[in-house]
Every structure is written in structure tokens, then in C-alpha cells.
Amino acid sequence: ATEIQWWHAFTGRLGDLLAKQVEDYNASQSDYVVVATNKGNYSETLNAGIAAFRAGEQPHILQVFEVGTATMMSAKGAIKPVYEVMAESGLPFDPNAYLAAVAGYYTTTDGQMLSLPYNSSTPVLYINKDALKTAGLDPETKPKTWGEVETVLTALKASGSACPLTTAWQSWVHLENLSAYHNVPFATKDNGFAGVDTELAFNSPVQVKHIDTLGRWAKDGLFIYSGRRNEGGARFRSGECALFTESSAGYAGVKAEAQFPFAVVNLPYWDDVAGAPQNTIIGGASLWVMAGHEGEEYKGVADFFNFLSSAEVQADWHQNTGYLPITTAAYELTKSQGFYETSPGTDIAILQMTGKAPTGNSKGLRLGSFDQIRGIIDEELEGVWSGSKSAQEALDAAVERGNQLLRRFEQANR
């Protein structure tokens, strides 16, 4: 059988679920064997894929988080576009079967799908209902606005909670999605979709107010910073932190480990911003096919992609992980199975992302060197949480430093 290498970034519960998909695929046919290898976290996996390409040792499939999308799109000789892989395979492939809000992120302006949507998420709010009860609140309290969140956090703190709120992926949730959700630009030129001559713009009043509020909450012990990625997950699942802003895919781990009743609700918004809430944007990752392999191997990749996109596999994946159903068929199948009734909160992500037609500010982000830019944003936000910088100072600095990277990317990709 022909071997197909797939490098990915999943460990823990998500790693187990991915391994099960591979096992099922390998058992379902005998022409191809998919070999999945974890290459560290999202950034490490992206870097491993790029380094391997330079050394001529690239895998067939590379899982790349949404942050690396513009980088992969510009790496023309290194990738083989998915539409091409599928067309050459002769296997049936309908790009319209995928949810527009998801596929649009990975598709060129003229409609060609470059990478396969696989695990797409959007941020939501997780609530430990027992913690609310301990704080004397109705455990069914579902704060809609950041103002209501503050009331809940204050009650939690007063009841002795050492961690009323923590977050995963601070830039993704509290700046990138915050901007889209309030219909303000994160960057000019439709957040980079309309051209590489884009400039960061996340230092406007909405973002400054939000980060300033979180900074105040950090000082008052209402918001506890846990780290740049999803380090906060363990603290929520153990019951230490009461509220948690995290990817809809945090559901996989919470469902498997939490020993308390929990709720998944919409990401809160500021109700004094006109038009809010707009829609949130996607995160997670897609699958890129790397250049330099044999025709028969690409056939195997196409066959595996067809398997991953089938309604049954997608619906299972969506229901177990909290990632969005990637295709309309998987969404319909999940509805018809009654899943959303028996698992409340699991349709929040898709409704929050697709509830309103996206604007230029809320289609998503397409920014070069964005992994490095996130590093800069993380560093500046950490300055706010530690009290050494004001929100305005930190965001101004992140914009200025990030723009230098964007200009270098623009020069290299004109």
C-alpha cells in the first residue's frame, strides 16, 4: 500500500480522536496507509513543515492553523492546491458542499480551494455552574455582555474564587474575534483579504476599552492570565477557574474531564457598540497538501480527504470535538440526530459564526507572518496583565511592531 504522511498538532483528547479517524480510514481500504505524526503545537508543526520542505523531506499533508494561512498561500512552490489534487484524482469533489463561512477562509477570490477545511472553531464562553452556585448566583446565569460578566466575576471573587475568569488564545479571542464581533477592523484592506498592503488597526477605541477592562480585571484578581495558547484549559477542567473564554473545540477536553456541570454560551460583547454582536471568525486549522510527491500518493491524499469530508465522519468529529461541522451535510445529519437538543451549547459556535452575513471586518484575517505578529501581541498584552503598560500603549506598540513584519512580508510577496 502507498504511504501517506500527515503531520499534525494534536495531543490529548483531540489527538486520540484524530488517531481514531486514521485507524478507521486505514481499516476501510487497502490501497493507502495514512501515517499520522504529531509535530508539537500549531506553531511548531507549521515550522516543521516549512523546514522539512526546504530539506526535501516534507509530508504529504500538513495541518496548519488559521494563523499560517497567508504564509502557506504565499509559499507557492511548496504547496499543491487542494482543488488541483482533487481534480487530478478523478474522485468526486464539490467545493460547494462545504460551509461558505469556513471554506471561504481557505479559498482564493476566484473560488479555488487551496487547503481542506478540517478543524474549524470559533471562540465561546465556558461556565462552571457549580462555581456560580457557590457564589450565590443562579447556576443557569448566562452573561451576554462584558458588563454582565463583570457582575458575575465580582460575585465569584467575593465567594473566594481564586480564578473567576481565564482565557485561551488571548489575541484570537480578545482582539481578533473581538474586532470582528464588533465590526471594527483588526487590519485595513478587509483584514488583509483585499491585499498584502494591509496595516494593523486593532488599537481603536473598542479594542482599547476591552483590553483596558481585562487589565483592570487582572489587577483586581477577576481575570487570571494562564498563557498564550490553551494552558487555561487544564485550570478550567480541574474546576480552578470558573469562566473560560476558549475555542469551541475546548469542548472535547471539558466533556471528557470536567467533574462539574458546565454551560457553553456565546462569546460576550459590548452592548454600547452599534451593530454588535456581528459574527465571530474561524480558528482551528486546515489541511495543506505539500508539493514534490508522486501522482499515486496524491490520489491517496484525495481519497483520504474524501473520507474526512464524508457526512458521517464530519458529524462524528463535530459532535466529539466541538469543531464546526465542515459541510452542510454534516450539519444537517447532526441536527437530524437530535444532537443539539441532547448536548446544549454545541450549536452556539456555528450560529455565532454564521448568524449574520459577514462584513469586510468579519470574514476573517489573512495576514502574512501572523504567527510572529501574534507573538508580539502576546508580549504586549502580557505587559498589560502585569500592570507595566496601559492598554493604549500596548496596542499601539503591537500595531507598530506588527506593521514592520507586514511590510517585510509585502515586499517579499508583491
35 three-state secondary structure: strand
- Least Å distance, CB 124 to ligand G3P, is 10
Q: Which is nearer to ligand G3P, 117 or 300 (CB)?
A: 117
Residue 175, CA atoms < 13 Å, CB-side half-sphere: 28
| Least distance CB 13 / ligand G3P (angstroms) | 12
- Give the shortest CB-411-to-ligand G3P separation in angstroms: 25
Q: Which is nearer to ligand G3P, 169 or 217 (CB)?
A: 169
**Cβ distance to ligand G3P smaller for residue 152 or 330:** 330
Closest-approach residue to ligand G3P (CB): 283
Q: Which is nearer to ligand G3P, 17 or 135 (CB)?
A: 17
- In angstroms, the CA 108 to CA 121 distance is 20
Least distance (Å) from ligand G3P to the CB of residue 398?
16
User: What does the binding site for ligand G3P look like in residue numbers (CB under 6 A)?
Assistant: 65-67, 119, 121, 169, 172, 230, 247, 249, 283-284
**For residue 97, which amino acid is it?**
A
| Whole-angstrom distance, CA of residue 236 vs CA of residue 241 | 5
Chain centroid to CA 130: 27
Strand, helix or coil for residue 349:
helix
> Residue 222 in contact with residue 161, Cβ under 8 Å?
no
Distance in Å, CB of 249 to ligand G3P, minimum: 4
Q: Rounded distance, CA 21 to CA 18, Å?
A: 5
- CA 78 to chain CA mean position, Å: 24
Residue 156 CB contacts under 8 Å (≥ 6 apart), including other chains = 131, 132, 135, 164, 222, 242, 243
Phi first, then psi, for residue 337 (nearest 5°) are -80, -5
CB of 2 to ligand G3P, least distance (A): 29
CB of 134 to ligand G3P, least distance (A): 28
Nearer Cβ to ligand G3P (303/380) = 380
C-alpha cell at 382: 502580557
- 268 DSSP 8-state letter: P
Nearer to ligand G3P, 161 or 247 (CB): 247
Please provide the DSSP assignment of 229-284 as one string. Answer: SSTHHHHHHTTS-SEEEEEGGGHHHHHHH--S-EEEEPPPB-TTSTT-S-----EE
Q: How far is the CB of 89 from ligand G3P (least distance, A)?
A: 27
Give the Å distances, CA to CA, from 3 to 33, 61, 80, 91, 293. Answer: 5, 11, 18, 19, 11
Q: Of 203 and 321, which has the nearer Cβ to ligand G3P? A: 321
Q: Which is nearer to ligand G3P, 121 or 352 (CB)?
A: 121
